[in-house]
Amino acid sequence: MADRLTINGIAFDVLSVPAPIGAAVLRDPVVAQVRTRVVWSWDGAVARFHGPVTEQGAVPLANALVFFAPVVLKGGAVAADPAKAKRQGERFLEATGAVSVPEAVKAISGIVPVARKVVPLSPYEALKPSCTFELVQGTDYLVVQLVERAKELSAWLCLPNRVSYRHKVGEVRDPEALEPVAARLDGYEPSFAVPARSRAAKGLRRIGLEQRGRDLLQAQKVLPEGVGGAVARDNLARAALRLEEERQAIGLAPRRVN
């Protein structure tokens, strides 16, 4: 399934990306540094955000642009061809007139606005008297491919789809006070689907989510038997529920699963 995205006068087809290639794209260092990062910390006296934040305590969920040339290895694993990816990036920037990748991302973000999320601080207030701690934000990205065949241009656009939070305790100052709070927060990782802030964002995310649905159906067809199959089936069921929540967040109807 394809759609179109025009960047500085260049019209790109938008293609869905199967899970193995999408996972390889997301291993790129450009994306890795924003997929998991500390967004807030408490040092025992002062709380502070790490990076940009609005007055309402919302942090930006940045789009990312990756230049990636996949190489399928023996056995089906996907690796990268760095030299080819570098040439792809150079051609893309030259064609779009962007002087750098951040400038290209800025142009895209004019069409696909940067999403934001208010960091959920209140559940962690009870930790403050007993320890220092950080809040780590994890971002799940959808990947779509941008292709302009006539000019042989290709890039991979990564769009925030879901964010989750977990706390990481640092210095313990009152072990007795911390124990019941830590027990209550054990395993607590709130997760939120990201709404789409524009029609273009909805269209691009739709392509990514529909591919994710196809990936889930394919995974269900090859479930193993026995205990391993039961665990995998439970994991896929949870993934299907998350997918429906993510579709709802951008205004899509529930999937029809035969």
Task: Determine, yes or no, domain membership for 19.
Answer: yes
Can you give the pLDDT at residue 226?
76
Task: Determine, yes or no, domain membership for 173.
Answer: yes
Task: Determine, yes or no, domain membership for 258.
Answer: no
Contacts of residue 168, Cβ cutoff 8 Å, sequence gap at least 6: 38, 133, 134, 135, 136
Pairing of strands 70-72, 78-80: antiparallel
Rounded average pLDDT per 10-residue block, the chain, 258 residues: 85 96 94 95 98 95 95 83 95 97 96 96 98 98 97 97 98 98 97 96 97 94 80 92 97 80
- Are 174 and 76 in contact by the 8 Å Cβ rule? The answer is no
Number of domains forming the structure of the chain: 1
Contacts of residue 60, Cβ cutoff 8 Å, sequence gap at least 6: 51, 52, 114, 115, 116
**Cα 97 from Cα 103, distance rounded (Å):** 9
Which residue segment(s) compose the domain that 188 sits in?
2-196
Can you give the pLDDT at residue 167?
98
Can you give the pLDDT at residue 222?
87
Task: Determine, yes or no, domain membership for 183.
Answer: yes
Task: Determine, yes or no, domain membership for 214.
Answer: no
Instruction: Please name which of 4, 211, 39 lies closest in space to residue 138, comparing C-alpha atoms.
Output: 39
Can you give the pLDDT at residue 1?
42
Can you give the pLDDT at residue 245?
97
User: Rounded to two decimals, what is the model's pTM?
Assistant: 0.92
The identity of residue 41, as a single letter, is S
Task: Determine, yes or no, domain membership for 240.
Answer: no
Instruction: Please name which of 187, 140, 135, 168 lies closest in space to residue 31, comparing C-alpha atoms.
Output: 140
Planar angle of CA 198, 200, 201, nearest 5 degrees: 65
Pairing of strands 47-49, 36-42: antiparallel
Task: Determine, yes or no, domain membership for 250.
Answer: no
Q: Which helix (H) or strand (E) holds 203?
A: helix 199-221
Task: Determine, yes or no, domain membership for 12.
Answer: yes
